[in-house]
Amino acid sequence: MSEKWIQVWGQAHSALSHFYYPSCKKTYRMVVCSAISGSKIRIELRNNPGKTPVEIGGITVAKCDKYGTFIGGLYKTVTVNSKESFVIDKNEMITTDPVDLEIGVDEYFCVSIYVVKGKLCSGNLLNNVNLITVKGDYTKIPHAENHPRPRDTVRKVATVVLGMGFHKPIPLINTIELLNNEDATSIVMFGDSITQQGFWTNAFEKRIREEYKGRYAVINRSIMGNRTLHDFSKRFPCPGLFGISGIKRYENDVLRFQDAEYVVFALGTNDFLQYGTISAPKSEKPTPKEMFNAVKGLSDKAHECGKKFIVMNVLHFGHAVDSRPEKDKMVQEYNKMLMDNKDCFDMVYDQASYCIDKNKPNCSRKELLGRDKLHPNFDGGQVVANNFDLSIFK
């Protein structure tokens, strides 16, 4: 077995908008439970989209407990071009120097980044790790208690108003890789908020960890509000939060990673739902055929790179406030195209059939949905995850 760099954690970056971190002189400690093993670690940092350069005062990595406390008080210093302090310019992405760190399957490790100056506007809102934020430089201090910030009230209000789970935003870190010698690979989840929020993806990852221990890392590169065909609309009140189109970000978030053996494509809901609302103009209305051709094109590109492409059809959203008969019909036509052309993909997962309301074919069952009648709740996430056929990953 040869040694290869494998993603152990990653995210897709978009503008954090109102959820960004305006202040500095803070340490951001991210705690990860590793699904794979490794002997070295390196980190990809991103400031895109960014409003200002970001000055980094230091980074450390350490094996830790699930609360982020260094085991034995030990840590390793991380550098970029042999420098402990450096600047990440606007729209720049950099990779740290490799650091020796033995990590086993299901062991915890943490990355601690001290930010001296700059607004942290680039990142995502994921809940598959624990992020500790604390004032001051705690990169070399074994234990850190999280300091709540006033801006978290924005998230709480948005959660109540929109009925979605707005998790604590994770800035700067784009990818964490381990040098693995056990032939591990990664599964990249490429979707929107239904995938990003973790209700089904976290349950799916748990199944993968149990059935294929040490074999796969599940990487959630999803962005809320994201569409396949169009970038975020400038009319939306949270600028850039919904990210650039799936087609545009596909290369950076999926194809360039040689370790990504599988792509699980879960976009489409927002392409059909957003147009004609506060989120997007009527002129960005897609057709089912346009959507199918775009997804098939992404599948073809994955195959050219030696990756397998799994596409999930679109959950019926007839209960959602922005639903219309025209939009419901397009979803049904698109889903039928996927099922009629399964040979274009390595697998089509008909998640809609497991969640459908048999009395209302354009709707998912209400008991599987959250308050917004669009996103699956915990029970809905379990249904989607539990019916995913994992045999394709053998």
Domain(s) of CATH 3.40.50.1110: residues in the chain:
184-393
The average confidence (pLDDT) of the chain is 95
Which two three-digit tokens encode residue 390? 């994992």
Closest CA to 250 of 12, 6, 44: 12
Closest CA to 314 of 231, 164, 194: 194
Q: What percent of the chain has pLDDT over 70?
A: 97
What pLDDT does residue 149 have? 77
Side-chain half-sphere exposure of 285, counting CA atoms within 13 A: 9
Compute how many other C-beta atoms are within 10 angstroms of the C-beta atom of residue 82: 7
What pLDDT does residue 238 have? 87
pLDDT at 160 over 70: no
Segment 5-20 shows an average pLDDT of 95
Superfamily grouping for domain 184-393: SGNH hydrolase (3.40.50.1110)
Q: pLDDT tier at 298 (50, 70, 90 boundaries)? A: very high
What pLDDT does residue 23 have? 74
First-to-last alpha carbon distance for the chain, in angstroms, is 18
Q: pLDDT tier at 163 (50, 70, 90 boundaries)? A: low
What pLDDT does residue 354 have? 98
pLDDT tens per residue across span 189-240: 999 999 999 999 999 999 999 999 999 999 999 999 999 999 999 888 888 9
Segment 307-319 shows an average pLDDT of 98
pLDDT tens per residue across span 73-119: 999 999 999 999 999 999 999 999 999 999 999 999 999 999 999 99
Query: Strand pairing partners for 103?
Result: 38
pLDDT at 287 over 70: yes
What pLDDT does residue 166 have? 72
What pLDDT does residue 346 have? 98
Please state, in angstroms and rounded to a whole number, the distance separating the CA atoms of residues 26 and 282. 43
**Strand pairing class (169-171; 122-125):** antiparallel
> Which range, of 2-6, 17-21, 211-215, 385-389, averages the lowest pLDDT?
17-21
Q: Full-prediction pTM beyond 0.75?
A: yes
pLDDT tens per residue across span 118-155: 999 999 999 999 999 999 999 999 999 998 877 677 66
Q: What percent of the chain has pLDDT over 90?
A: 90
Radius of gyration of the chain (CA): 21
pLDDT at 161 over 70: no
pLDDT tens per residue across span 28-84: 999 999 999 999 999 999 999 999 999 999 999 999 999 999 999 999 999 999 999
Closest CA to 167 of 19, 33, 41, 291: 19
Residue 11 makes CB contacts below 8 A (sequence gap 6+) with 123, 124, 126, 170, 173, 174, 219, 220, 221
What pLDDT does residue 162 have? 62
What pLDDT does residue 237 have? 87
What pLDDT does residue 2 have? 83
CB 261 within 8 Å of CB 37: no
Closest CA to 353 of 315, 325, 296: 315
Residue 293 makes CB contacts below 8 A (sequence gap 6+) with none
CA distances (Å), origin 278, targets 24, 275, 281, 340: 33, 8, 8, 33
